[in-house]
A and B are shown apart, each in its own frame.
Chain A
Amino acid sequence: MQNNILNRIHPPSLQPLRKALFPLVEEVKLNNGIPVFLIPFGSQEVVEIRLVGRGGKSFEQVTGVSGIATKMLLEGTKSYSSLEFARKLDEFGAFLQVDTGYEYAGLSLTCLEKHLENTLPLLAMAMLEPTFPEDEFTKLKKRTLQNLEVEAQKTSHVARQEFARGIFGDFHPYGSPITADVLEKVELEHLVAHHKRTNSAANFTLVISGKYNRDKLISILNREFGQAEMAPKEDFLPLSASLASQTPGQAQKGFDFHNMPDSMQATIRVGHKAFARNHPDYYPMQLVTTILGGYFGSRLMSNIREDKGYTYGIYAGWIGLKYDGLFVIQTDVGVDYMHPTLKEIRFELDRLLQDGTNEDELDLVKNYMLGKAASAWETPSQIAEVVTNSVIGELPFSNIDERFDIIQAMTVEDVSDLARKYFRPDELLETVSGAHREKQD
């Protein structure tokens, strides 16, 4: 019987890793010069279109204006009221979402190929002809303020906000919180000015992925976007860029406690400032941070969840933003586990700094990261997301595939060197929001 010879003790032999290549990206220009990145992809007639403008938080002249300004793009256009616009989208089974980041803001349209003829005009209208009706603005602002009041009761919200503020400071777009006080001061005229300034056609980029007829698509794009007036491109820098060249270290370090007396869990965020996304050590530090807390078998997860049971999950990230970055460990733990968890976090960070890694662990993490990356390019939406991030970060597309070689080439010594170079245990900010308990060891 086959049964008798089946070896269940030893794993089946592993096959060599295959390198996945990102699909080719084609750049075309519309008649007025708007750049379009095309990535034909997939077997279903689905198309994802990202329209990226510059209306992000780093371009604000009035704090808090960007998020609500982007949302208002769907609240009325020259041709349609908010409701008519929503019905038109539904009529063609299309989904349109708004997204506001630090250096960009934009719209993503997802629809079936057969409806492009009808849905692309809606996308164009939202960005080129929004009317910012007063009534819709007043209601949206009121709802947002109320939602903020609910959010403020969540330990996760408070910790996220206070940690970012601690790392980047109150006046940095990456750090300044959107509180009720901030939002109260935002008026309709600020939105209109923000939109006009940041979302002129000269600032647009389009990223499109899916299964479509290329010529037909380009002709619709030229009709809807290719005639928009290209005002001279304003050469203004985002605030994040001007601050990046002058900020010294981070604003705050040490234990930063926010008492929320009735909470059952404490949210913990521990970390410090890091570097921008275009730094040459960005991918190497992804690997180092993955060892620490980037996957289910990571050191933090193995210790704090799988051995101690303090939390449902704990994660570490090395986050590269366009002009700066941060290292952050985040978790939610029972309030009695707050200090024991902080102690174990320090223990694991110190252990990585002192002892580095070994061949076995390094090999495992490399395979995990490369396997995961290779299987993450499966839908037009995922593909468009990757390209959009490159566009926003002004990174060459070759950078997408380079990660495989960079990560594959890492050695045990590299991990130790990088950990010692970039982790700074003396500068950790430990932000905790939750109910107060006596310190215990």
Chain B
Amino acid sequence: MSKINFSTFYLENGLKVLVHEDHSIPKVVLDVVYKVGARDEDPSLTGFAHLFEHLMFGGSRNIPQFDTPLQRAGGDNNAFTNNDLTNYYISLPSNQVETAFWLESDRMLELDFSQKSLDVQKSVVIEEFKQRYLNKPYGDAHLILRKTHFKVHPYRWPTIGMDISHIEGATLDAVKDFFYGFYAPNNATLVLAGDITLDQARRLSEKWFGPIPRRELKKHNLPVEPPQTEARSETVYRDVPFPAVYKMFHIPGKNDPGYYPADLITDLLSHGRASRLYQTLVIEKQLVSSVRAFSWGAHDPGMISLDATLAKGVEPAQYDEALAQLLEEVQELEEAEVVRIKNAIETHNILEKTTILNRAVGLAVSDAQGDPDLINTAIDNYLKIPVDELKESARKILAPSNCSTLYYMPNHAK
């Protein structure tokens, strides 16, 4: 795998700039990551960072519409918010790159704070909330279980927010405070990737982002989640055809070396048709119709989520028993199994870096995590983990006392 090379420089206002050159196709990606996410929200106004992301497309100080001029330049763009950061990206033909600088710098300079835009985007986000979480069977399961799993840390709500009423309550004043407190060159990293030279990147960054003033950042200390010491569980009844069981396990944050074995264990449990969960629970014992585990890695300690829909006629207790046994048996892990998982991780690592966009986003989120070179180094942190360390990590993380369970039951089972 060839390394993703990049150069770094800073503007006087504190904006960090990363440049990755690749001239193989005439395309360039401009990505800006702001180090603010849902964890920075007021607990009574959750979902705000994401709502704010929507407002970033509603016009800025000198440009009434963000999308129109970009589309005219043959470009495309989008953004995402997670619990730790907010990321915006534009991809366009490389000979139009200045249009991206013009657009992205103007909305860092200042937004056009409009009541109409706020009202419409609140409504759009409420529909998004329904579409993603509420208007489908089991859609709100993670929403519910997060609140049990995290007692104090703001990871107890997802980026969409804890409740629709929080989104309804957002005011224009809160929007302005948020902008001036978090959207600043000294709280952002600009990534330029693709068909652009370092000189060009330097000149255009100075020209468009240089004049934006440094801002005083809102500071706050995030509460630390106390260690969980005993199993937690709760039950809800809904209009669904089959019981489903959701479990969450605490894992270390992404900057802790313990994150890598935790993530690898998740793959071991759940990656592909040879995985332990699939083979034991779906095929051999036929207790579930579907099962998956994924690690939700974050800057602060995150979690592994293990979701299963039970097969017709199976009781949660039967599933719990079989799962407990399976998790115990991870201690009998063998080298060959670990090698297979590492090979999959290796292929995946190469595939995810084939597009310019993925490389730009990868550099941006790695930088927000603390080190842009993680885009190159993270893979070795997986490949070097010895089997013993995996077993030890599994023993700690998959312990019942580290787990919260949600039993999502059909109304007819009441």
List residues of A whose CB falls within 8 A of some B CB.
1-3, 6, 8-9, 11-12, 14-18, 20, 42-46, 74, 82-83, 86-87, 89-95, 110-112, 139, 142-143, 146-147, 149-150, 153-156, 262-265, 295-297, 305-312, 332-334, 363-365, 367-368, 370-372, 374-375, 377-380
Give residues of chain B (145-173) contacting chain A, Cβ–Cβ below 8 Å: none
Instruction: Verify A91–B343 contact, CB threshold 8 A.
Output: yes
B212 to chain A, nearest CB (A): 10
Q: Tell whether A146 pairs with B74 under 8 Å between CB atoms, given A11-B99, A82-B273, A87-B340.
A: no
Instruction: Verify A146–B135 contact, CB threshold 8 A.
Output: no
A286 to chain B, nearest CB (A): 15
Bound Cα distance from A410 to B120, whole angstroms: 34
Q: What chain B residues lie within 8 Å of A3 (beta carbons)?
A: 210-211
Partner of A17, one of B93, B98, B274, B309: B93
Q: Does B282 contact A (CB under 8 A)?
A: yes
- Given A46-B351, A146-B309, 4 other A-B residues pairs in contact with their CB atoms under 8 A: A15-B93, A86-B273, A110-B347, A378-B25
Partner of A153, one of B101, B124, B240: B240
Helix, strand, loop or mixed for chain A's interface? Answer: mixed
A-B CB contact pairs (8 Å), 9 listed: A11-B99, A12-B101, A86-B273, A87-B340, A90-B340, A139-B286, A156-B136, A297-B65, A364-B72
Q: Tell whether A378 pairs with B2 under 8 Å between CB atoms, given A143-B290, A265-B130.
A: no
Bound Cα distance from A112 to B232, whole angstroms: 43
Q: How large is the interface on B (under 10, 10 to 19, 20 to 34, 35 or more residues)?
A: 35 or more
List residues of B whose CB falls within 8 A of some A CB.
1-2, 24-27, 61-63, 65, 67-69, 71-76, 91-93, 95-96, 98-99, 101-102, 105-106, 109, 119-128, 130-131, 134-138, 206-208, 210-211, 239-242, 271-274, 279, 282-283, 286, 289-290, 309, 311-312, 339-341, 343-347, 350-351, 353-356
A163 to chain B, nearest CB (A): 18
Q: What chain B residues lie within 8 Å of A372 (beta carbons)?
A: 74, 76
Partner of B242, one of A2, A86, A91, A146: A146
Which residue of the partner chain B has the closest CB to A42?
A: B354
Instruction: Verify B75–A9 contact, CB threshold 8 A.
Output: no
Instruction: Verify B27–A153 contact, CB threshold 8 A.
Output: no
Bound Cα distance from A122 to B279, whole angstroms: 20
Bound Cα distance from A47 to B351, whole angstroms: 10
Bound Cα distance from A17 to B131, whole angstroms: 37
Partner of A9, one of B1, B62, B353: B62
The 9 A-B residue pairs with the shortest CB-CB distance, nearest first, are: A371-B74, A309-B123, A93-B343, A86-B274, A90-B340, A12-B98, A93-B347, A86-B273, A312-B128
A87 to chain B, nearest CB (A): 5
Which residue of the partner chain B has the closest CB to A17?
A: B74
Instruction: Verify B355–A379 contact, CB threshold 8 A.
Output: yes
Instruction: Verify B309–A8 contact, CB threshold 8 A.
Output: no
Q: What chain B residues lie within 8 Å of A43 (beta carbons)?
A: 2, 24
A225 to chain B, nearest CB (A): 23
